[in-house]
Structure 1
Amino acid sequence: MKLLEFLKGKKGAMGIGTLIIFIAMVLVAAVAAAVLINTSGFLQQKAMATGKESTEQVASGLSTLKVLGILNGDATAVDGLAILITPNAGSAPIDLNQTKIFITDGDKKAVLYYNSTAYNNLTGGGEVTNTTLEAWENISVTDKAQFGIIVIQDSDGSCKQNTPVINKGDIVALTINATKIGLNLDPRTTVTGSVVPEFGAPAVIEFTTPATYLSTQTVIQLQ
């Protein structure tokens, strides 16, 4: 009789141990599942953010429409450059405040930043190469290497003086005083550079000045 009671008690103790192990396994599985869910959620958010940034980097950017040169008084060299740019198709809005121009004539290299006082809006019409505009004059009165902005096309008014943001369909001219920043744009000079936005592809600057400048010319197309 006592032996039977002992065996029954032993089976009960084994059942309780098994139950404890089962509960422990369930708790471990629950903790592991919670960790996996949290990790997968974090990785999903990181993947979405990375994908968005990668798409912006690939699809966004600037393209060069043309580069105009303004000759000096005796038509022996180019004094000013007007670089006409527009956002690439599908590009996110680009802040020109965060954009830099890298340019070199093979000897002198310059990095230019936007001067907010050198700004004009010609969406209503006007002459981009008119050197009396603030976009030309105000980059000449400073010792810093800076560029100005002339707005040519901006249907939504996004490219303002202090917040010059360009988006789909906008066209602006970036003005450079070549003489002021030390570029020597005599005939047969090769010039290279780029307009580098905060993100996305840069607009390429690459041209060679003509073999000679005509005294009848005041503005020439370089690229």
Structure 2
Amino acid sequence: MKAMIFAAGMGTRLKPMTDKTPKALIEVDGKPMLEHIILKLKGAGFNELVINIHHEGQQIIDFLEAKNNFGVHIDISDERDYLLDTGGGIKHAARFLQGNEPFLVHNVDIFSNVDLMKLYTDHAKTNPLATLLVSNRNTSRYLLFDNAHKLCGWRNRETGEVKSYYPDFDPSMYTEYAFGGIHVISQEIFEWMDEWTGKFPIINFYLSICARATIQAYPMEDLKLLDIGSLESLAKAEEWVVANR
């Protein structure tokens, strides 16, 4: 099974720690974030990984070589010349991800208690274009889903901005969920991406096609998720690992 880890981020909210170190190699309880995610994926049965790199990317390559790729096959999707964002990053890595089965995408800075194999197999059973891990956590930006858990739009509660390709879209008629940074994607995604080039966010892409393709929510009521995007959350991640060791 294949999975991609987004490890190309600049880590601006973790400065100055990330000035000369890629965010993926910032340590949590003595291990880089990247190691935690690789081991979680390996433990769930994913044995072919793709990792994208940008800022100080050679450090990630050297780290993986020193660890013998943790006993799994790892390809590097090199974005050191130009950072392509999440959607562009997936398309750029297509040559590694294409095959006969869906693939999972996991942000390097997301720690969670989600059962990755269950998420993957549930996607395979229903076969939408993509299945997104979501939760009811508080945030400013929400994805909007109908009663069948199908993506229909997006709303920023702070600014009031709404995005949807459905006519006469009323956001109050839909359920709000926060995206969890983990999703399973079917191979057909690359056909839908034909007209998309360069740098683009995957959420914008999902919103542009959700009226024509099924982008499914995977809500977890008991989900525990931590986005390690700040120095404060990095400290919480240390507590997380100790508590769940």
Superposition TM-score tier, normalisation by shorter sequence: under 0.3
Judging by fraction of residues, say which structure has more helix: 2
Structure with greater Cα Rg: 1
Give TM-score, length-normalised by structure 2: 0.22
Give TM-score, length-normalised by structure 1: 0.23
Judging by fraction of residues, say which structure has more strand: 1
